[in-house]
């Protein structure tokens, strides 16, 4: 450990009001942080508040010293494998070095996660600058540091761990060492932190990246109104940056490139945190926040061409509310093509989500003949709302058609919050001036065949859609409930190659958004879009409504969903050439949701879930060729025996995710079972 912390033992022992000791010294306790590992999984320090001890070790990725210290840490991990002690390596890197981290772990035969600190802010806060430096943290005393020294000092380190495991009081221990390898922290220059200008450097970042929410009437709990307000919240700002909670943008920066990227750059994050570390000095110059025009616009895209008034709904103070499905007839006298939508909830606290669909032939007049082009155009979403959602704009030349004979149908999920309130949601529609060339489509990759065991902290669900024709994707939208923790979408092409389209190392139920690729994603015919979800049903998941419950799929947030919506168009489909590709793809969705091996066959062990007990019991009967597998043809024949699902008996035109279906007309019979749902094309947008 560096010489200037020779007196750290006494510093550690003194309770301090600030979370950090002097710059460059080992902290007396550790602030929360979140980092992503070599496998794109997120890890947060405070998640382990109940652990007896947490061991953090600094490492590089490409040296003999890194391999040696990693093996020493691995030995400790194996020694305390059954004691609940948590072990991590932290590597202050720049850029994407996950491959290097995986290579180092493989060569050292080590399975301790490497947390990649690309901003170096966590390594700085821990005073890490040498490979093999270790901290032992005691979560039960406020994440205080119980040991600081080399991982190679086994006697001192293990005695500390054993005392913590035994629940004993531990005197902070500091062990000096002559470390062989210095870690590079090129951005850590504490002497220059006080030179960072609030006026020129910090405030402009806050206005640009935080002002949309931290405005008067915005969704954030406080306003960016002055330096004084920022100064008061400075410790919280530092904490939400280190945990990567704010700004609320969660895709992995090394996978995909999205238009609505509100994330701080590494340099912006360092600028703000380093300024706070310097004491948040006001400095010279005007206060940009006093002059910033931060306000929430009713209609960010301008006044809509048409506003749909959703039926008012009285939200009670308490209770669990079933979804509402209001239908509102279109009052426009001529057909229109949507180019953008914006949903404005009337009750920000009571409206949990809004999804929608359009019923083209609701009034069924003679104005639209079924065999005409207009009569064949599919319905589509007319907008959605989820926490953090922005207005939704279509790409140029793409639209959703609204027939004059149609009706809007909404799926409204309301939640009670201890106060009665009336919701009057509005939906602003923006129309193309001329008929577009292409039709916006929307489909859901989903699975409702799972049950998450109580206490399981890493339950895995996979499903896919197989695209029968060439397409290009405009929007990616993942969705789960409170147990959802990590999600990825991969395109598997017909030649077997794979492309990762998006990864959210940490899914946040409180902020759900569309992610729009800067360039549309090209999907060759025959490709699969494979969605993978990981769920945390453990007690450590602070958002978990009930960690003692086995969780099954359902609409309500105490239940769970496996859901991933994609908005796209078929390359060979135009307004004058409507195809059946979406219908073909959606007929295959139930089979795909069971085909976890992604081999176009169903094995017996893949037939899981309460809704598929009938199929598991009759598997041998449906296996007509006795090969121990069900192919798609055998599976479709079996569907005649699928029992009705009572959940869908009174939800005409609604699928198993609570979404509105394309083509759901007034004369549709109520959906009686999953089979009828799976044969329709889904156009919902963001259910909860």
Residue 530 main-chain phi, psi, to 5 deg: -105, 115
Residue 101 CA, distance from chain mean position: 24
Interval 661-682 mean pLDDT = 35
Distance CA 109, CA 481 (A): 36
Residue 206 has φ and ψ, to the nearest 5°, of -60, -40
Residue 671: is its pLDDT beyond 90? Answer: no
Per CATH, the architecture of 306-436 is what? Sandwich (2.60)
Q: What is the DSSP secondary-structure string of 113-139? A: PEEE-TT-HHHHHTT--BTTEEEEEEG
pLDDT of residue 26: 74
Number of H helices, E strands in the chain: 17, 27
| Separation of alpha carbons 3 and 156, rounded Å | 19
One of 2.60.120.230, 1.20.1260.10, 3.30.460.40, 3.40.605.10 is the CATH number of 442-596, namely 2.60.120.230
Helix, strand and coil in the chain, % to nearest 5: 25, 25, 50
Q: Based on the number of CB atoms within 10 Å of its own CB, is 308 exposed (0-12), middle (13-18) or buried (19 or more)?
A: buried
Tens of pLDDT, residue by residue over 434-481, are: 999 999 999 999 999 999 999 999 999 999 999 999 999 999 999 999
Helices 266-277 and 234-242, packing angle to 10 deg: 140
pLDDT at 682 exceeding the cut of 80: no
Q: Are both 306-436 and 442-596 of the same fold?
A: yes
Multiple choice CATH, 3-174, 3.40.50.300, 3.40.718.10, 3.40.30.10, 3.40.50.1860 = 3.40.30.10
Q: pLDDT grade, residue 685 (50/70/90)?
A: very low
pLDDT at residue 370, rounded to an integer: 59
pTM: 0.89
Tell me the residue ranges of DSSP E strands in 394-452.
398-402, 407-414, 421-423, 426-431, 438-439, 441-447
SS (H, E, C) 263-293: CCCHHHHHHHHHHHHCCCCCCCCCCHHHHCC
The pLDDT tens digits for 366-398 are 455 656 666 689 988 999 998 777 899 999 999
Select from 188, 206, 215, 212 the least CA-distant residue to 280.
206
**CA distance between the termini of the chain:** 49
pLDDT in tens, 122-138: 999 999 999 999 999 99
Helix (H) or strand (E) segment spanning residue 315: strand 313-315
Instruction: Specify the pLDDT at position 512.
Output: 87
The b-or-e profile of 572-583 (16+ CB within 10 A means b, else e) is ebbbeebbebbe
pLDDT bucket at 312, cuts 50 / 70 / 90: very high
**Domain parsing of the chain, residue ranges:** 3-174, 190-291, 306-436, 442-596
Tokens coding 504: 């959210």
């Amino acid at each position: 450990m560096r010489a200037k912390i020779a007196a750290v033992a006494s510093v550690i022992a003194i309770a301090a009001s600030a979370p950090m000791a002097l710059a460059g010294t080992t902290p007396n306790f550790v602030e929360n942080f979140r980092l992503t590992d070599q496998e794109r999984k997120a890890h947060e320090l405070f998640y382990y508040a109940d652990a007896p001890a947490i061991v953090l070790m600094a490492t590089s990725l490409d040296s003999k010293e890194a391999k040696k210290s990693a093996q020493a840490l691995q030995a400790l991990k194996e020694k305390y494998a059954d004691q609940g002690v948590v072990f991590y390596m932290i590597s202050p890197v720049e850029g994407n070095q996950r491959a290097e981290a995986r290579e180092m772990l493989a060569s050292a035969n080590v399975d301790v996660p490497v947390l990649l600190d690309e901003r170096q802010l966590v390594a700085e806060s821990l005073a890490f600058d040498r490979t093999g430096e270790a901290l032992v943290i005691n979560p039960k005393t406020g994440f205080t540091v119980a040991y600081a020294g080399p991982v190679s000092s086994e006697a001192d380190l293990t005695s500390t761990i054993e005392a913590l495991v035994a629940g004993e009081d531990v005197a902070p221990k500091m062990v000096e060492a002559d470390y062989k390898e210095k870690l590079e922290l090129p951005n850590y220059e504490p002497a220059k932190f006080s030179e960072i200008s609030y006026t020129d450097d910090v405030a402009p970042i806050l206005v640009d990246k935080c002002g949309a929410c931290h405005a008067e009437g915005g969704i954030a709990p406080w306003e960016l109104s002055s330096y004084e307000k920022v100064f008061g919240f400075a410790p919280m700002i530092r904490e939400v940056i280190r945990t990567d909670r704010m700004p609320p943008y969660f895709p992995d920066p090394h996978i995909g490139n999205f238009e609505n990227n509100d994330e701080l750059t590494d340099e912006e994050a360092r600028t703000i945190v380093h300024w706070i570390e310097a004491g948040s000095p006001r400095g010279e110059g005007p206060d940009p926040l006093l002059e910033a025009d931060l306000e929430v616009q009713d209609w960010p895209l301008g006044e809509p061409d048409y506003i749909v008034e959703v039926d008012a709904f009285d939200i009670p103070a308490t209770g669990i509310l079933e979804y509402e499905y209001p239908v509102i007839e279109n009052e426009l006298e001529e057909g229109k093509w949507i180019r953008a939508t914006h949903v404005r909830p009337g009750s920000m606290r009571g409206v949990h989500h809004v999804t929608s669909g359009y019923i083209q032939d609701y009034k069924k007049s003679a104005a639209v003949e079924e065999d005409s082009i207009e009569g064949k155009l599919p319905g589509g979403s007319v907008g959605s709302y989820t926490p953090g959602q922005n207005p939704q704009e279509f790409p140029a030349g793409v639209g959703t058609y609204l027939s004059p004979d149609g009706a809007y149908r909404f799926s409204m999920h309301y939640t009670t919050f201890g106060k009665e309130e009336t919701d009057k949601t509005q939906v602003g529609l923006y129309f193309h001036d001329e008929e577009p060339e292409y039709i916006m489509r929307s489909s859901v990759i989903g699975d409702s065949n799972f049950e998450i065991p109580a206490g399981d902290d890493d339950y895995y669900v996979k499903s896919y859609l197989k695209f029968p024709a060439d397409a290009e994707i405009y929007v990616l939208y993942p969705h789960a409930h409170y147990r959802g923790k990590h999600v990825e979408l991969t395109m598997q092409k017909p030649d077997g190659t794979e492309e990762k389209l998006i990864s959210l190392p940490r899914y946040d139920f409180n902020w759900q958004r569309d992610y729009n690729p800067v360039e549309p994603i090209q999907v060759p015919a025959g490709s699969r879009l494979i969605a993978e979800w990981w769920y945390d049903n453990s007690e450590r998941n602070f958002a978990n409504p009930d960690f003692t419950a086995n969780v099954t799929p359902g609409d309500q947030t105490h239940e769970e969903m496996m859901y991933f919506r994609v908005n796209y168009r078929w390359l060979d489909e135009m307004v004058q050439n409507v195809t059946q590709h979406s219908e073909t793809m959606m007929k295959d969705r139930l089979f795909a949701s069971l085909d976890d091996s992604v081999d176009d066959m169903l094995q017996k062990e893949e037939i899981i879930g309460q809704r598929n007990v009938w199929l598991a019991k009759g598997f041998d009967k449906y296996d007509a060729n006795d090969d121990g597998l069900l192919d798609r043809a055998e599976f479709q024949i079996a569907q005649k025996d699928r029992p009705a699902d009572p959940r869908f008996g009174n939800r005409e035109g609604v699928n198993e995710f609570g979404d509105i279906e394309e083509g759901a007309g007034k004369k549709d019979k109520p959906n009686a079972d999953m089979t009828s749902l799976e044969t329709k094309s889904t156009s919902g947008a963001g259910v909860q």
